[in-house]
Amino acid sequence: MKLHDDALDTLFRRARTHNGFDGRPVDDAVLHDLYDVLKWGPTSANSCPARFVFVRSPEAKARLAPALSSGNRDKTLAAPCTAIVAYDLAFFEALPRLFPHTDARSWFAGKPDVIQATAFRGGTLQGAYLILAARALGLDCGPMSGFDNAMVDAEFFPGTTIRSNFLVNLGYGDPSRVYPRNPRLAFDEACTIA
Ligand SMILES: Cc1cc2nc3c(=O)[nH]c(=O)nc-3n(C[C@H](O)[C@H](O)[C@H](O)COP(=O)(O)O)c2cc1C
Instruction: Identify the CATH number of the domain in which residue 26 sits.
Output: 3.40.109.10
Which residues are CB-neighbours of 53 under 8 A, at least 6 positions away?
83, 84, 86, 156
Residue 184 included in any domain? no
Question: What pLDDT does 22 receive?
Answer: 97
Q: What confidence tens digit (pLDDT) does each residue in 175-193 have?
A: 999 999 999 999 999 999 9
Residue 149 included in any domain? yes
Question: What pLDDT does 175 receive?
Answer: 97
Instruction: Report which protein residue has its CA nearest ligand 1's atom 18.
Output: 17
d(CA 136, CA 148): 29
* Number of structural domains the chain divides into: 1
Which residues are CB-neighbours of 123 under 8 A, at least 6 positions away?
49, 50, 51, 85, 86, 87, 88, 165
Q: What confidence tens digit (pLDDT) does each residue in 24-53 have?
A: 999 999 999 999 999 999 999 999 999 999
Distance 88 CA to ligand 1 centre (A): 24
Q: State whether the beta carbon of 44 lies less than 6 angstroms from ligand 1.
A: no
Q: Give the three-state DSSP class for 120.
A: helix
